Amino acid sequence: MDAGRKRELEEKVYSGERLTREDGVALYESDDLTWLGRLAHHVRTEKNGDRVMFNVNRHLNLTNVCSASCAYCSFQRKPGEKDAYTMRIHEAVAKAKEMEDEQLTELHIVNGLHPTLPWRYYPKVLRELKAALPNVSLKCFTATEIQWFEKISGLPASDILDELIDAGLASLTGGGAEIFDWEVRQHIVDHATHWEDWSRIHRLAHEKGLKTPATMLYGHIEEPKHRVDHVLRLRELQDETGGFVVFIPLRYQHDFVDSADGKVRNKLQARTTMASPAESLKTFAVSRLLFDNVPHVKCFWVMHGLSVAQLSLNFGVDDLDGSVVEYKITHDADSYGTPNTMHREDLLTLIGDAGFVPVERNTRYEVVREYPAPVPLAERRKEPQQVIA
């Protein structure tokens, strides 16, 4: 990028002027990672100061049986496969109760599109989870699952959301978004939920008072222009509803060999690799710069590793997804040395070590607890340092 174009983009960012599609593509074409980081860090600091939010949550997948076969997915199993499972309601409650340590504030629940489970199962499981864990917020279901519930129940999404909210639903999850561009999408997605339905369902959720996350799966066969298009669609919807609370770029995971049976289920494996750490940091930075009306940008550390997670805090990110346990969607088969679990103390260390102030939040991004600013690095150097993978 020539110096004049760089200056033009800097002026836009520092004056708060909205960036265009062409600006987004130009930012992705820049190899100047520190420059991108500086711009994104300016925006991130304007919005969120030197705070980094995190939550204490657990992930629960009620079933891995799925009617779809999305090309990138290593999680789904077909009925009758050896390790296909579906939890009975009492099993789901017992599993959630097992996880109820460390003042858990959120359960994150996503599932396969089970071909025979009845719609009634889902509100029932929410009611029983809420009764067992009244202080825990239930963040459940992708827009894809909500559209699946429409299909199996014959009810419209509005009635489905009303019933789920009555049963304890606090938020949808942001999944099912992948990449909205149809040319790319038809190669990676096998379910029926595309932009029109994904946006319809999140719009409805926002109208009912829910705040929801939005995600983007990147680093597979898409090009940067598709990432720009994805974010601009979300930005436009956010102008309309204001209901997105966070944007989460999710790194496509390559090299999935299922540890249980040695199978490679990921059908994109032969066609692509995955985003490098530099590409991930660029994606965080450009996302922060383009998606100017979303309050937070999150790094889901499970998919990026702890080193990139720490660095991302200087590339527009101000939120780290919590103390995940059993994240099956990627941890079924990855071998990147990323842990399954981060406890509250681990997250405090990770954030403080990067020079930021940790703030524990709940599902709606309300502050649960503020922590002191970190001890300056120069003082910490007097003590042996904790080693982080």
Q: Which residues are known binding-site members for S-adenosyl-L-methionine?
A: 178
Q: Is 106 helix (H, G, I), strand (E, B) or coil?
A: strand
* Residue numbering of the annotated binding site for [4Fe-4S] cluster: 66, 70, 73
**One of 39, 53, 73, 146 touching ligand SF4 (CB under 6 A):** 73
Q: Residue 108 to residues 136, 170, 243, 302, 327: CA-CA distances in angstroms?
A: 10, 10, 19, 14, 10
Q: Give the span between the Cα atoms of 141 and 118, in whole angstroms.
A: 15
Q: What DSSP character marks residue 372?
A: P
Q: Which is nearer to ligand SF4, 172 or 320 (CB)?
A: 172
Min dist CB 265 to ligand SF4, Å, is 9
Of 180 and 356, nearer to ligand SF4 (C-beta) is: 180
Quick one: which of 28, 54, 75, 356 contacts ligand SF4 (CB under 6 A)? 75
Question: Does 112 participate in binding ligand SF4 (rule CB under 6 A)?
Answer: yes
Fill in the per-residue mask, 355 to 384: x = in contact with ligand SF4 (CB under 6 A), - = not in contact.
------------------------------
Q: Which stretch binds ligand SF4 (CB under 6 A): 21-29, 72-80, 100-108, 257-265?
A: 72-80
Residue tagged 């981060």 (tokens): 342
Cα distances from 383 to residues 221, 352, 375, 378, in angstroms, run 45, 15, 12, 10
| Minimum distance, C-beta of residue 193 to ligand SF4, in the bound complex (Å) | 8
Q: Measured between alpha carbons, how far is residue 105 from residues 164, 170, 357, 369 in Å?
A: 19, 11, 20, 12
Beta carbon of residue 70, minimum distance to ligand SF4 (angstroms, whole number): 3
Rounded Cα–Cα distance for residues 35 and 45 (Å) = 15
Q: Output 112 or 295, the one with its CB closest to ligand SF4.
A: 112
**Can you tell me which of 76, 199, 215, 323 binds ligand SF4, judged by CB under 6 A?**
76
Dump the DSSP string for 287-349: HHHH-TT-SEEEE-HHHHHHHHHHHHTTTT--EE-------HHHHTT--S---S---HHHHHH
Rg (CA), the chain: 20
User: Minimum Å distance from CB 144 to ligand SF4?
Assistant: 6
Give the nearer residue to ligand SF4 in terms of CB position, either 82 or 382. Answer: 82
Instruction: Identify the burial level of 185 via C-beta atoms within 10 angstroms of its C-beta, where 0-12 means exposed, 13-18 middle and 19 or more buried.
Output: middle
Stretch 127-146 residues interacting with ligand SF4 (CB under 6 A): 144
Is the CB of 68 or the CB of 93 nearer to ligand SF4?
A: 68
Q: What is the DSSP letter of 77?
A: B
Nearest residue (CB) to ligand SF4, 28 versus 218: 218
Kindly state the smallest distance separating residue 112's Cβ from ligand SF4, in Å.
4
Give the integer Cα–Cα distance in Å for 13 and 289. Answer: 7
CB of 292 to ligand SF4, least distance (A): 29
Between CA 185 and CA 177 the distance in angstroms is 10
Which CB atom, from 266 or from 310, has the smaller least distance to ligand SF4? 266
Residues 42-71 that bind ligand SF4 (CB under 6 A): 66, 68-70
> Can residue 107 be called a binding residue for ligand SF4 (CB under 6 A)?
no
Sequence-distant (≥ 6) Cβ neighbours of residue 171 within 8 angstroms: 137, 138, 139, 140, 205, 210, 211, 212, 213, 363, 364
Site residues (CB under 6 A) for ligand SF4, limited to 177-236: 190-191
Contact pattern for ligand SF4 over residues 82 through 101, marking x by CB under 6 A: --------------------
In the bound state with ligand SF4, the residue whose beta carbon lies nearer, of 40 and 248, is 248
22's CB contacts (< 8 A; 6+ apart) are none
Q: Which amino acid is at 104?
A: L
Q: Does 330 bind ligand SF4 (CB under 6 A)?
A: no
Q: Are 243 and 206 in contact (CB under 8 A)?
A: yes
Neighbours of 365 (CB within 10 A): 16
What is the size of the binding site for ligand SF4 (CB under 6 A)? Answer: 12
- Give me the least distance between CB of 71 and ligand SF4, in Å please: 9
Smallest separation, CB 77 to ligand SF4 (Å): 9
Residues near ligand SF4 (CB under 6 A): 66, 68-70, 73, 75-76, 112-113, 144, 190-191
